[in-house]
Structure 1
Amino acid sequence: MTQDTNLVRYGPAWPLARVAAPPPDGDGDDEQSPLVKLHHLLRGRYHWAILLGMIGLLGGAVPLYLTDAPRYRSVGIIQVKTVLPVAVYQTPDKFLSNHELYIETQMDFLRSRRLIDLAMDSEPWKALGRGTSEEEVEKFLESLQVYHPPRTELIHVAFLDRDRRAARIAVDAILDAYSKLHIETSSQEKSQVMRTREDLRSSLEQEIAQLNAKIMALGYDEYGTTDLAPIYAQKLENVGRTETELRDVRLKLAAAEAAARQNDGPLMLSEVLQLDQTGRLRTLVAYRDEMARRVEQLRAQGLGPQHRELNAAVASLRSAEEQVERFVEGFSRAPAGDRGGSPMAAAVERLRLQEQYLAEMLQREQTEKLRIGQRKMEIEALKREVEDREKRLEEVKRAIEQRKAEEGLDKTRISIYSRGDWPLGPHDDPRRKKAAMGGAAGGLAGFAVVVLLCALDRRFRSADDAKSAIGPVTLLGTLPNLPEDLSDPEQAALAAHCVHQIRGQLQLQLQSADRGAFAITSPAAGTGKTSLSMALGVSFASANSRTLLVDCDLVGGGLTARLDLTAHRKLGQILKQQGLVNEQQIEAALMLSRASGKRIGELLQELGYITRHDLDLALDRQRQSPMGVLDALAGEKLDNCITETGIAGLYLLPLGTATPHHAGGLSPAALRRLLTEARKRFDTVLVDTGPVPGSLEASMVAKEVDGVVLVVSRGEQKFAAERSLVHLMSLGAHVAGIVFNRATHHDVEMSGTRPRSIQRGGTSSRVVVPVEVVSDRASSRFGPVGRAVASYARAAGNGVNRHQGAEPDEPAESGRE
């Protein structure tokens, strides 16, 4: 027993549809497997699936096989020879590409509508009576096959038809039409191509001549040559040299103008040297420098300061320096206006004239350079156009030569290698393929119809359906479908074993508690919940558990009706209420009854406490006022409301006077009080309630008991069980589990509840099999399942016997306290 069999409680916010956990006694992987789900759908219906699948298979295969026929194939071959003019073609690769392209063109031509119309218009084809409508043309094209085996010179023309003679005629018609159109088309194409190429050659030659004339006009007429690159390079050199001279003159002019703008202050020696246009200052500076070198040479020779030659050289140096200084000072002191007429002013003027001349010359040279450069670019562009046209002219001339070289070979390049052959046998037989496809589709359709019907059928058909519908709720067990006149010992043993297993799981769910109360309910009436209640009562009693059956189905009342038992108020209590006897007199009569075995009413009469008339009235009142669940809920002692069932340890709290309209007067507090008192007096309390959620008393009871057992049966709608579980979860009830009733023997075997001694082929004798099914009056009231449990317990020696004392069909304590 796993932990999954423990009591599970679900809150109202947990809808059943969102439960994702696998059922406790199922396999989570199987639940996710589509094959297992399909098996569950088809269980018990495989014969229908196979039957409809076979009908669909035959219905799809036979018509397709009979409405078709094998096709015959005739093949003709066209040879396209490889042409290699050595004078024209240079590389084999280029020719191979052209050859393949030519073959593809011929294949397209063989499939063209013009050729097909010509072939279908031939007399042999017309003799077949096929016609030339658009529909026939489409069929003709569908049957025609044109293909080229790689790396060959051959084109295969094939035709498929159900008539082998028609296939051969079609191939010959295609070949004849191709020969006729190819000769006609080739002649026209050759003439057109040659005319086009000759026109293109003349046009290219004229364009080349015109371009050469333009080149001569742009270069040779003016410059005497068409190669202007050297002339352009010389112009570039002249422009560069002129730019350099102009830049130097502008630097000198800037220096002279800067010196002329200084009205006051001496000028520097370097400035005067630039402004002096007479050259006198340069002469003086050169003489001074010469004297300085002379003095240095004499001193280097070791001449002393008193030497006459050294002194004369020093005097000349000083005189030269004074002359330079006086010239610079006199040049600087001259007024700005007077400087215009000075050598410096004349130098500035000359520099300006030189700058103007060089700038004009540079502009002329640049203009000439641009004109020559533009002419040069125009001539180069024209030369490129001439080269391009000369290349194209060369290609055209080569193509013309090639075409002339091939004229003698084209006549034999394409030939009919073989005409249409006579088909010796069918090329393909589509009947088998179509019949297989039709049969598969029909078989799958028939199978799918059964699967669809099974998927739409939302009834329980097996225990696996119950497992998949209840989600994580425990499947307590299965109950086999038993006949009312149960007589087979093996069936009885199987049913009893199933009930004992359910009882064992409920006892385990109580864990450490010694006493517990369970409610037995169902989604709808007629599922067998009352039978299960009675059978579980017998099972608990056989396990030495003092058990109370409570009939709380105020509408159905099946438990009370099936057992046909009623509880009556004790005779002593009736006489006491009437004031005829007191408590001491009743106690004295009870002691005498235990000793003598007489009824208490007879003893009270013998003792003189009551008369015979009083006794008869009390017995009538006892029979007319049955006790039951309403009295217990109203506060009556539980012992006064219950009755014995004839099974040792098993008692019943019947309906009594309760009717359906009493359901509105029930209260959870009264039910809680009753169950609390019942738990004190009994080890196990089994409450048979009405269906949920339709029964008001069932909802109240489910909230107060220790666990709820939901009974579903084969053939019941799944949504009803799901609705019941959701309702119980919303109440906060403890769902002990689900019992699947009216199960087949296969479901019982698959659930693993079949005893080993009655397994197919089993020989074990360690599990007791009853030798006969009991049929006494007490056991027969519990139905076939209850009888099976009683028989099993009796055969096992559990001693499920009737109580000694009053007969169960007599009023309780009719004469005894």
Structure 2
Amino acid sequence: MNQDTQLLAIDSNPPVQNADAPEPTTEAAPVNPLTLIHRLLRGRYHWAIILGFVFGTGGVLAGYHFFEPKFDSIGLIRIKPTVDDPMNPREEVMQMYEQFVRSQVILVKQPRIILAAMETETWLKTNRGTTGDREAVIKFTEALEAVNTPRTEHVVVRFTDTNRVVARAGVTAVLEAYDEIYGEVKTNAITRDLNLIQEQKKSVLSNLRTVEGKIERLTSSHGGADNLRSEYTSRKNDLEYLERSKRDLTLDIDTHDLVASEHDTDTEDGGSRIDDLYDLARNDPELDKLLNDRSNLQRTLQQLLVDRGKNHPRVKAAFGSLQVVQQQIDARASGQRGAPYDGAPDDGDGSLNPADPPDLAMARMRVKELETLIKQVREDVTSLGKKQDQLASHEAEETRYKDQRTNFLNREQSLKLQTFVPGQIEIAATGSEPLEPSVDPRTKYMPFFGFVGAVFGVGLMLLRGLLDHRLHDSADAQLSMAQARMLGVLPHLPDDLSEPEQAGIAAHCVHHIRALMQLAPDGRRPQVYAVTSPASEDGKTSLALATGLSFAAADYKTLLIDCDLSGGGLTDRTNAILRRKIGQILLRDGLVSAAQLDEALDRAENTPGARLGETLINMGHISEADLNSALSLQEHASVGLLDCMAGESLDDCVFATGITGLSVLPVGSARASHIAKLSPAGVQRILNEARETYEVIIVDTGPVQGSLEASIVSPLADGVVFVVSRGNDRPAAERALSHLDQIGAKILGIVFNRAAESDVRAISFSNASSQPPVDEDIDRPITERTKREHQSASRFGPIARAVASYSQGSESDQDEAEAKES
């Protein structure tokens, strides 16, 4: 081997991978926006710079010509804050000064002032239009501005125009018109305002007198408004007291009636008198407490009767409690009077006395009197309440009219004072011609439009790149498919391969790819490789054949499997047409037995120049017609992938390429219509059998899109090499790679085919391959083996031929040694 090949050779005894080791997961790194822009502009930078400069310059010129600087001319109107009153030698501060200043600001921009200004001689000299031109009036109004700075005595009048002379003429004309008509306007306005205020004041005073008369009539019978309010409060309190007294008496009477309804008795003097009990309770706290308890129980019993009815258990329980308390009261009262009490009720039958004592009769009469009083007092309260509401409404109106009267008096005084102000307003400055523009939009818009133009020019190229879905270089492919590493590139070679330097670079590219294929990211050493691509004609067959030659050159026993049933490119490149043996055909058709075939094989091997068919005829096992029929079948019966899947031995289906260490399992007679016979189990069986014989197995599958072979073989391989070519559709390649990832394929990396010279120069070993090794071995003898391998490699294509020719230096050392020994 030469030095370069030794550097790329890998140990032929790869370590065994731990089956329990988890599969590494490769996540795509986030795309840098600058990297994305670089990808879109790759190869278009010069156009982006040119268009950016052209459109940027156009934007600057547009910003300069489309926008003009504006000049401001300023005039001042001074308004004195004091008032000169001839009746008062002292100066007084003008009332509502700020409001007056704001009114003058509005007055300056009134149509009457503007139209008068446009008719002045100063403005007519500018030839910018008169009052008959509506557009000119609108522009004049938009150019005029009047403002007052807070806490100052001046109204600033500003006129803006692109011509400094016109700006000065505009502000001067406005001030002349304002000064000319100000006196008339001011006098008329003051007179009009005074008349209006006086009329409004008369109306307010009339309303005020009317409201005061209503208040007088409403409160005269009560001695005034305060007495009316006191009387209303007093009668309202009386009503509450009477209603409370009636409620208490009614409660006592209802309770007594309830007791009478429950006990049928005719006693007239039983029970304790109410007035006597309360007299006794003044000196007996215990009796007073019992009377309070009876009162509470009576209220509870009355409420329960309303809510539940007299037959409800809770009503009966409350009534029983009331009886117990009444017995305690009677016993206590008897003790106080000195009469014996034996624990029985006073009526002798254990019940309360329902007869009406004199105090209850008086209570009933008192209730009727209270009802009459309550009715009368409620009527008084209602009448007084209405009067109080009317009084409140009249007093609110009175307050409002008094406030309006005060306001009108102040305004009337202010306007009367203004009639004695002959020099309150003066023109402080008539405006001057501006030296510098107040606003120059060109300084802002020229850079802006220049930037927009430059961005637009570059944006056109970005849009061009965005719409271009093709892969242009390896960096473009690596950015689009960042989840997989870049194994290397393959240069674009001519078919004749006339340049030795190109052959050397291509060979080193292949050896570099082969080395990275063996160095998997997870540290394992794959044995079975699947080579696929997004679409056909991307160079996957050339890469499979070239890497097979590279593995063979590194002393790996290599098997190439053509699993592209539609294309069969690997079989065509290697011319791997393997015919079925004549003995197998005769044995399969039953023309000979196995023993006869073995006997004929032994005789043919021991007889120089003898053939198996002739030997079988001579032995009388078959006829010449049988042999011709078998030979005809042999001509049309090629052996390959499907035969091996059907159960035939792998060794009987493998084709020797003529390159040491490199064999091919051709596609055989399989075509696209036989895809249904391809199964994962059959492919797995072939791979398992091949692992026992070969150190490296490379499977050339069909493209991911449009075929089934890649989806079947890729998950079964130790690693998948994904080939993309310059000019491929980027979205299609991304979808194909994503599909492989979804079905569980182990992606070893990407190979970029038909790379430009710049991509190849980016590879670090490109300089090392600038001199082909054939120059070093030019004087070496050419052996029969070298000639034979040259003839075999001549049909492999430019990439594979480059690898084969670049490997001659390493193999010629072995040939020279063999020649010397012979």
- Give the shorter-chain TM-score range: 0.5 to 0.7
Equivalent residue for 2:600, pick from 564, 582, 598 = 582
Q: Kindly provide the amino acid, as one letter, of the partner of residue 54 in structure 1.
A: F
Q: Kindly provide the amino acid, as one letter, of the partner of residue 584 in structure 1.
A: D
Once the two structures are superposed, what CA deviation does each residue of 1:467-500 show, in whole Å capped at 9, x if it has no partner? 4544644544333434555577775555444433
Of 538-547 and 390-399, the range deviating more from structure 2 = 390-399
- Name the residue aligned to 1:449: 460
- SS at the partner of 2:160? strand
- Name the residue aligned to 1:52: 51
Contact 2:471 2:477 in 1 (8 A): yes
Equivalent residue for 2:800, pick from 775, 783, 786 = 786
Once the two structures are superposed, what CA deviation does each residue of 1:541-581 show, in whole Å capped at 9, x if it has no partner? 12211112233444444334444565567899999999999
Of 455-464 and 659-668, the range deviating more from structure 2 = 659-668
Cα distance in 2 for residues equivalent to 1:740 and 1:724 = 15
Distance 1:510 1:41, change over 3 A: closer
Contact 1:232 1:373 in 2 (8 A): no
Give the deviation of 1:72 after TM superposition. 2.9
Distance 1:263 1:112, change over 3 A: same
Q: Kindly provide the amino acid, as one letter, of the partner of residue 554 in structure 2.
A: A
Give the deviation of 1:459 after TM superposition. 1.7
Equivalences, count: 668
| Identical amino acids, percent of aligned pairs | 34
Cα distance in 1 for residues equivalent to 2:51 and 2:476 = 24
Distance 1:174 1:723, change over 3 A: same
Equivalent residue for 1:405, pick from 407, 417, 420 = 417
Once the two structures are superposed, what CA deviation does each residue of 1:13-62 show, in whole Å capped at 9, x if it has no partner? xxxxxxx9634xxxx14x2x333322222222222322332333234333
Q: Kindly provide the amino acid, as one letter, of the partner of residue 396 in structure 1.
A: F
Q: Kindly provide the amino acid, as one letter, of the partner of residue 705 in structure 2.
A: P
Of 572-581 and 188-197, the range deviating more from structure 2 = 572-581
Contact 1:549 1:685 in 2 (8 A): yes
Cα distance in 2 for residues equivalent to 1:226 and 1:505 = 115
Contact 2:531 2:544 in 1 (8 A): yes
- SS at the partner of 1:396? helix
User: Is 1:199–2:199 an aligned residue pair?
Assistant: yes
- Name the residue aligned to 1:125: 123
- Name the residue aligned to 1:168: 168
Contact 2:565 2:675 in 1 (8 A): yes
- Name the residue aligned to 1:283: none
Cα distance in 2 for residues equivalent to 1:574 and 1:361 = 139
Distance 1:230 1:516, change over 3 A: closer
Q: Kindly provide the amino acid, as one letter, of the partner of residue 449 in structure 1.
A: L
Cα distance in 2 for residues equivalent to 1:227 and 1:190 = 42
- Name the residue aligned to 2:27: 22
Give the deviation of 1:450 after TM superposition. 2.2
Once the two structures are superposed, what CA deviation does each residue of 1:413-434 show, in whole Å capped at 9, x if it has no partner? 3222111311324443334433
Q: Kindly provide the amino acid, as one letter, of the partner of residue 405 in structure 1.
A: L
- SS at the partner of 1:186? helix
Structure-to-structure mapping, 1:634-645, within 5 angstroms? 638-639=650-651, 641-645=653-657
Structure-to-structure mapping, 1:35-46, within 5 angstroms? 35-46=34-45
Contact 2:59 2:449 in 1 (8 A): yes
Aligned-residue CA RMSD (Å): 6.0
Q: Kindly provide the amino acid, as one letter, of the partner of residue 22 in structure 1.
A: E
Cα distance in 1 for residues equivalent to 2:815 and 2:712 = 33
- Name the residue aligned to 1:65: 64
Give the deviation of 1:188 after TM superposition. 2.0
Contact 2:519 2:525 in 1 (8 A): no
Contact 2:122 2:172 in 1 (8 A): no
- SS at the partner of 1:478? strand
Contact 2:641 2:653 in 1 (8 A): no
Contact 1:629 1:654 in 2 (8 A): yes
- SS at the partner of 1:582? helix
Equivalent residue for 1:414, pick from 408, 420, 425 = 425
Q: Kindly provide the amino acid, as one letter, of the partner of residue 64 in structure 2.
A: Y
- SS at the partner of 1:412? coil
- Name the residue aligned to 2:784: none
Cα distance in 1 for residues equivalent to 2:374 and 2:567 = 130
Cα distance in 2 for residues equivalent to 1:186 and 1:168 = 26
Cα distance in 2 for residues equivalent to 1:383 and 1:642 = 121
Cα distance in 1 for residues equivalent to 2:586 and 2:271 = 166
| Structure possessing the higher radius of gyration over alpha carbons | 1
Contact 1:790 1:800 in 2 (8 A): no
Distance 1:375 1:697, change over 3 A: closer
- Name the residue aligned to 1:738: 750
Equivalent residue for 2:731, pick from 702, 719, 725 = 719
Give the deviation of 1:78 after TM superposition. 1.9
User: Is 1:440–2:451 an aligned residue pair?
Assistant: yes
Cα distance in 2 for residues equivalent to 1:661 and 1:263 = 129
Distance 1:199 1:719, change over 3 A: closer
- Name the residue aligned to 2:664: 652
Which 5+ residue runs of structure 2 have no aligned equivalent? Answer: 1-9, 11-16, 20-24, 254-265, 280-357, 779-789
Contact 1:489 1:771 in 2 (8 A): no
Equivalent residue for 1:754, pick from 764, 768, 773 = 764
TM-score, structure 1 normalization:
0.65
Distance 1:435 1:175, change over 3 A: same
Cα distance in 2 for residues equivalent to 1:624 and 1:93 = 132
- Name the residue aligned to 2:558: 547
- Name the residue aligned to 1:684: 696
Once the two structures are superposed, what CA deviation does each residue of 1:506-538 show, in whole Å capped at 9, x if it has no partner? 334599998833332222222111221121012
Structure-to-structure mapping, 1:274-423, within 5 angstroms? 389-390=401-402, 392-409=404-421, 411-423=422-434
Distance 1:690 1:374, change over 3 A: closer
Cα distance in 1 for residues equivalent to 2:37 and 2:120 = 61
Distance 1:395 1:803, change over 3 A: same
- SS at the partner of 2:74? strand
Give the deviation of 1:160 after TM superposition. 2.4
Give the deviation of 1:794 after TM superposition. 5.5
Contact 2:562 2:700 in 1 (8 A): yes
- Name the residue aligned to 2:100: 102
Give the deviation of 1:79 after TM superposition. 1.9
- Name the residue aligned to 1:334: none
Cα distance in 2 for residues equivalent to 1:358 and 1:509 = 112
Distance 1:771 1:134, change over 3 A: farther
Once the two structures are superposed, what CA deviation does each residue of 1:350-381 show, in whole Å capped at 9, x if it has no partner? 99999999999999999999989988997887
TM-score, structure 2 normalization:
0.64
Structure-to-structure mapping, 1:564-643, within 5 angstroms? 582-588=600-606, 628-629=639-640, 633=644, 638-639=650-651, 641-643=653-655
Give the deviation of 1:717 after TM superposition. 0.8
Distance 1:101 1:67, change over 3 A: same
Cα distance in 2 for residues equivalent to 1:509 and 1:631 = 31
Q: Kindly provide the amino acid, as one letter, of the partner of residue 682 in structure 1.
A: Y
- Name the residue aligned to 1:111: 109
Q: Kindly provide the amino acid, as one letter, of the partner of residue 736 in structure 2.
A: S
Which 5+ residue runs of structure 1 have no aligned equivalent? Answer: 9-19, 256-260, 275-344, 591-599, 759-764, 806-817
